[in-house]
A and B are shown apart, each in its own frame.
Chain A
Amino acid sequence: MLNVGAIRETVNMIREENLDIRTVTMGISLYDCQSDDINRLADKIYDKITTSAERLYAVSRELEKRYGIPIINSRVSVTPISYMAGGLRSVDDCVLIAKTLDRAADTLGINFIGGYSAMVQKGEIDSARLLIDSIPEALSETEKVCSSVNVASTKAGINMDAVRRMGEIVKETSYLTRDRASIGCAKLVVFANVPEDNPFMAGAFHGVGEPERVINVGVSGPGVVAAAIKRAGDCDLTKIAETIKKTAFKITRVGQLVAAEAAEMLGVPFGIVDLSLAPTPAVGDSVARILEEIGLERCGAHGTTAALAMLNDAVKKGGVMASSHVGGLSGAFIPVSEDAGMIEAAAAGSLTLEKLEAMTSVCSVGLDMIAIPGDTPAEVISGIIADEMAIGVVNNKTTAVRLIPAYGHSVGDELSFGGLLGTAPVMAVNMYSPEVFVKRGGRIPAPIQSLRN
């Protein structure tokens, strides 16, 4: 039964508090595109993607109109390209496939396509090695392709050879896209325990156990949560957690509605709703502001990790009942450049890399969209990746690293990417060298927590 109070609340969330559907992502399997001829492989991939998602953009627009809620992005994720092993015999072959994905994204009118990916937590198949080697060139020669590499898992441990290599790959990518604020690095994520149904970029891909096609939806809504906490006023943390839970329930219900309808309209199964609170650089759409609303002078102050842990847990508790299937990353995101409050906190010196690392142990996803000095050595980047992977592996959770070495910039400078990717203040890094540790290579064994049978 419709009542005016409920209508006002919903309209207010959308118009004043930036509630939106962040992404409707179609996952598409490419297994049936396998071919040992690279041109044939590229053609089949292009055809499969463009026919499968032909109506994706139009359906998003129609749902946006029906419910009056913005659907910010329509995206596609595909089977990790490294599994197209038969056709990939050189770095050039891989780059050709990246360009094919980019072309397919252009045809569909979507803004990102994910799945230029490899899973190497225990070791590399030949095509994964080629794909990783090709990442800098692939990301510099495409606009919409997103890449991810899973280098660790609780079951397999940490592949330190891959961690070392990814430090170098991040640096190379930064250099090759130096004329565009090193933006290639904003489309490259290094993961531990990567989820296979994540709708959010840059880490989205279509996992091996997924159906032929699937619809996954990511909601947003930090502004709605911050406003609800503000309205709750002077109360204790039990009440704050309760307020967050109720708000998360409402946000997620909208995601569930859109996901179910998009799936039906496209004739594709509904996969999951991702419960993540995803900020944007827009004023009033910030996760940092939620933490400040809870009672911190600035994000990064002592108490931030505890407040974030409570926020993350309450979002999940509220969201899980609102959706029939929850998956993906599901937690609060803390991408520095995409969050107005985080940008301010980092620029003010309140938020440091070390504090962000602590925060990632209690929320999704990891060290995300952080600009570091351009002269940071590759081994130091590998050291940062190794630390973050260890947090994920030991705590049975997803962690990720998306760092942007800002070529030609140092601490205090600012990198501007534009759009949803925002602006990143270049943050200080501990430059003492982990070189000997990183160069030892090998694998850090899976922790005792992996033996659960």
Chain B
Amino acid sequence: MKAVITVVGHDSIGIIAGISAECASYGVNINEITQSVLSDYFVMIMIVDITDMKCDFSEFVDAMERHGRGRGLEIHVMHENIFNSMHEI
């Protein structure tokens, strides 16, 4: 099972490091990262594997949102099913 993490905010040192550490602490494995910086604006999409996640999905969603709030980042986690059902017949 996978999930998608989207991150938007002002660029700064250590954004990816912080989010990666948070993922690791919950047993969430990073599969893919697409990231860009446009005029100081940081945008990242992460595809992660949540098969071995150590907590409820909603707990992880809250943890990531909290992590973002403290750093001026908007972080959202969405289960992969919404993308699969919308874009596959």
- Give the B-binding residues of A (Cβ under 8 A): 2, 4, 6-11, 62, 65-69, 250, 253-254, 256-257, 321
In the complex, which residues of chain B have a beta carbon less than 8 angstroms from the beta carbon of A321? 89
In the complex, which residues of chain B have a beta carbon less than 8 angstroms from the beta carbon of A10? 78, 82-83, 86-87
Minimum distance in angstroms from A127 CB to a CB of chain B: 43
Per-position binary interface string of chain B over residues 1-30, scored 1 when its CB falls under 8 Å from any chain A CB and 0 otherwise: 010101000000000000000000000000
* B45, B78, B85, B87: the one within 8 Å of A256 (CB): B85
- Cα–Cα, bound, A257→B78 (Å): 13
- Cα–Cα, bound, A253→B85 (Å): 6
- Cα–Cα, bound, A256→B88 (Å): 13
Contact of B84 with A250 in the complex, beta carbons under 8 Å: no
- Cα–Cα, bound, A416→B80 (Å): 40
Contact of B87 with A254 in the complex, beta carbons under 8 Å: no
Is B61 interfacial (CB 8 A cutoff)? yes
Contact of B76 with A68 in the complex, beta carbons under 8 Å: yes
Contact of B78 with A67 in the complex, beta carbons under 8 Å: yes
**Further pairs besides A67-B79, A67-B82, A68-B77: 13, Cβ < 8 Å:** A2-B2, A2-B47, A2-B80, A4-B34, A4-B45, A6-B86, A7-B83, A10-B83, A11-B78, A250-B87, A253-B85, A254-B85, A257-B85
Query: Can you offer 26 A-B residue contacts whose CB atoms are under 8 A?
Result: A2-B2, A2-B4, A2-B84, A6-B83, A6-B86, A7-B83, A8-B45, A10-B78, A10-B83, A11-B6, A11-B76, A11-B78, A65-B58, A65-B62, A66-B58, A67-B79, A68-B61, A68-B76, A68-B77, A68-B78, A68-B82, A253-B85, A254-B82, A257-B81, A257-B85, A321-B89
Given A253-B85, A257-B81, is A7 in contact with B4 using a C-beta cutoff of 8 Å?
Answer: yes
Contact count A vs B, C-beta below 8 Å: 58
Main secondary structure of the interface of A (DSSP, over half): helix
Minimum distance in angstroms from B26 CB to a CB of chain A: 15
Minimum distance in angstroms from B8 CB to a CB of chain A: 9
Interface hits, B19-75 → A, CB 8 Å: 34, 45, 47, 57-58, 61-62
Contact of A66 with B87 in the complex, beta carbons under 8 Å: no
Contact of A2 with B82 in the complex, beta carbons under 8 Å: no
In the complex, which residues of chain A have a beta carbon less than 8 angstroms from the beta carbon of B87? 6, 9-10, 250
In the complex, which residues of chain A have a beta carbon less than 8 angstroms from the beta carbon of B84? 2
In the complex, which residues of chain A have a beta carbon less than 8 angstroms from the beta carbon of B85? 253-254, 256-257
In the complex, which residues of chain B have a beta carbon less than 8 angstroms from the beta carbon of A257? 81-82, 85
In the complex, which residues of chain A have a beta carbon less than 8 angstroms from the beta carbon of B76? 11, 68
Residue of A with least CB distance to B31: A2
Contact of A67 with B81 in the complex, beta carbons under 8 Å: yes
Contact of A66 with B6 in the complex, beta carbons under 8 Å: no
In the complex, which residues of chain B have a beta carbon less than 8 angstroms from the beta carbon of A4? 34, 45
* A7, A65, A253, A254: the one within 8 Å of B45 (CB): A7
Listed from nearest, the 9 A-B pairs whose CB atoms lie closest are: A68-B78, A6-B87, A67-B82, A257-B85, A65-B58, A253-B85, A66-B79, A250-B86, A253-B86
In the complex, which residues of chain B have a beta carbon less than 8 angstroms from the beta carbon of A7? 4, 6, 45, 83
Residue of B with least CB distance to A15: B76
In the complex, which residues of chain B have a beta carbon less than 8 angstroms from the beta carbon of A8? 45
- Cα–Cα, bound, A250→B6 (Å): 20
- Cα–Cα, bound, A10→B85 (Å): 11
Contact of B80 with A254 in the complex, beta carbons under 8 Å: no
Residue of A with least CB distance to B6: A11
Residue of A with least CB distance to B34: A4
- Cα–Cα, bound, A8→B47 (Å): 12
In the complex, which residues of chain B have a beta carbon less than 8 angstroms from the beta carbon of A66? 57-58, 61, 78-79
Residue of A with least CB distance to B43: A8
Minimum distance in angstroms from A285 CB to a CB of chain B: 19
Minimum distance in angstroms from A16 CB to a CB of chain B: 12
Most B-side CB within 10 Å, residue of A6, A66, A254: A66
Given A2-B47, A8-B45, is A69 in contact with B4 using a C-beta cutoff of 8 Å?
Answer: no
- Cα–Cα, bound, A133→B86 (Å): 47
Minimum distance in angstroms from B68 CB to a CB of chain A: 13
- Cα–Cα, bound, A62→B82 (Å): 14
